[in-house]
Structure 1
Amino acid sequence: MKTWKLTKLLIFLLGLFGSGSVLAQAKVGLPGLSVNFGQGVDLVDTIEVLILFTVLTLAPAVLILCTCFTRIIVVLSFMRQAIGTQSMPPNQLLIGFALFLSVFVMRPTGEDIYYKAVSPYMKKQITTTVALDQIEKSLRGFMNKQVRKADIALFYDVTGETQPTTINDVPIHFLIPAFIISELKTAFQIGFLLYIPFLILDMVVASVLMAMGMMMLPPVVISLPFKLLLFVLVDGWQLVTGSLLRSFN
């Protein structure tokens, strides 16, 4: 029961992060936190505090895995490797771009969490349990649209439990890993399609160099400028970004 409460607390923290675009427009005072480790503190209470801080340290990782960030950053990494520029754009730029795209995609979910859970809870109109349930419901609304039934069935096959009739009855600890697997598969499918035109260009350049007897010259030296030119002419970043955003509809 304590583990389930901590899980729900973590989901509540995710809701606070997901509604950051709305919170930025409001003036919210941060409450103080005082922890006393002196005499009179029960050992059980101390352990609960340690578990709470452990869950807080895992909140950013869970936030990334429960949103569209996974698919976006994997596709952008594939795009960079397909072009052939190993460190351009740099990792910091790709991660920042992926974060802003994730905020754009998750904005409806974040607003739903804020207006239905976070704001009423701060005004003391609803209890903590109701707020946690509403945040979980909002996150489920996004993950249910992206997760595949085969990935959910995988965890039921492993555990031997009976599959539910509707996706809303799937426990959150089954839904999150299934959602991550679905996001990785979709990202790899998009990455494969991105590789095809650049792979064809590499093969053409390699064949031309071999026909000219220039076998000692690495084909990547010649193909890289052509791949950059092709990517710029077709406005590649706009096409990739548009395809990523439309894949979440």
Structure 2
Amino acid sequence: MRKFLLLAGGVAVLAAVPLPALAQTIGQAADQAQGAAAGLAQGSISGRAMQILLTLTVLSLAPGILMTVTSFTRIVVALSLLRSGLGAPGVPPNPVLISLALFLSFFVMTPTFETAWREGVDPYNQGRITEAQALDRTSQPFKTFMLSHVRRDDLHMFVELSRKPAARSADLPITTVMPAFMISELRRAFEIGFLLLLPFLVIDLAVAAVLMAMGMMMLPPTTISLPLKIIFFVLVDGWSLVAGSLVRSFGHA
């Protein structure tokens, strides 16, 4: 009986409302629903557009980022000095040398890449953090990597030049850490290159001395020393030793 009375009351209320007013109310509700749906779609499209823009920006800056905040600089400079020590400027070719340095850098930087993806990129793709938070969380693992390999003297010099001291190294801006890290990497690359060049220098001196003692001063020493350096490098498994030493220089077991 109660349900019947409620139903009858509802019908009476609807009957009391004029039809034009009822149609106008329904039309306004439909317009509001469409506007809300359009707003949600626009927000989704704007978010996707921002993600695409950030992705294109990162890809365009990838070469600079690769050379600045990773192990690529040390590895490629050391390999270039090794090639110069062999005395064959075009062997191995530049694409091969850069590819080797690139994959060795990926091997060294894999933990850093995984941390940056897990803490910054993946939460941003899921919409759980903003662009600013994603940038800060993504850059933090790279700054930690750079601080673990930068020379304190170089870092101190750039802190003085920037005139932005900090109580801790972790509080320094990444724009201060990056140039200090680059200078440190170049220094270490030249130190490794010097050690790589020493055996080849000994071979060059020995060949030159033997040729002079034999009176063959018109014969270029590099003609004799190049095959000797190549066979020496192959016999000691030089590429494996150099690659392993470069990777271990970053603290890998």
TM-score bracket, normalised by the shorter chain, equals: 0.7 to 0.9
| Counterpart selection for 1:78 from 45, 59, 81 | 81
Residue equivalent to 1:195:
197
Residue equivalent to 1:28:
none
Q: Report the alpha carbon displacement of residue 129 of structure 1 after superposing the two structures with TM.
A: 2.1
Q: Report the alpha carbon displacement of residue 102 of structure 1 after superposing the two structures with TM.
A: 1.0
Q: Give TM-score, length-normalised by structure 2.
A: 0.75
Residue equivalent to 1:217:
219
User: Are positions 1:176 and 2:178 aligned together?
Assistant: yes
Residue equivalent to 1:101:
104
| Counterpart selection for 2:134 from 131, 136, 144 | 131
User: Are positions 1:232 and 2:226 aligned together?
Assistant: no
User: Are positions 1:120 and 2:139 aligned together?
Assistant: no
Amino acid in the other structure paired with 1:194: L
2-side partners of 1:97 and 1:181: how far apart?
22
Q: Report the alpha carbon displacement of residue 64 of structure 1 after superposing the two structures with TM.
A: 2.2
Q: Give TM-score, length-normalised by structure 1.
A: 0.76
Cα-Cα RMSD: 2.1
Q: Report the alpha carbon displacement of residue 207 of structure 1 after superposing the two structures with TM.
A: 0.4
Distance 1:84 1:133, change over 3 A: same
Q: Report the alpha carbon displacement of residue 55 of structure 1 after superposing the two structures with TM.
A: 8.0
Secondary structure class of the residue paired with 2:232 = helix
1-side partners of 2:164 and 2:102: how far apart?
37
1-side partners of 2:155 and 2:75: how far apart?
22
Structure 2 residue runs without a partner (length 5+): 1-46
Q: Report the alpha carbon displacement of residue 157 of structure 1 after superposing the two structures with TM.
A: 3.1
Determine which structure has the larger helix proportion and give its number: 2
1-side partners of 2:126 and 2:243: how far apart?
38
Q: Report the alpha carbon displacement of residue 117 of structure 1 after superposing the two structures with TM.
A: 1.2
User: Are positions 1:186 and 2:191 aligned together?
Assistant: no
Is the contact made by 1:153 and 1:163 (CA closer than 8 Å) also made in structure 2? no
Larger CA Rg, structure 1 vs 2: 2
| Number of corresponding residues | 202
Residue equivalent to 1:145:
148
Higher relative contact order (CA 8 A, sep 6+): 1
2-side partners of 1:100 and 1:245: how far apart?
11
Amino acid in the other structure paired with 1:101: L
Q: Report the alpha carbon displacement of residue 120 of structure 1 after superposing the two structures with TM.
A: 1.2
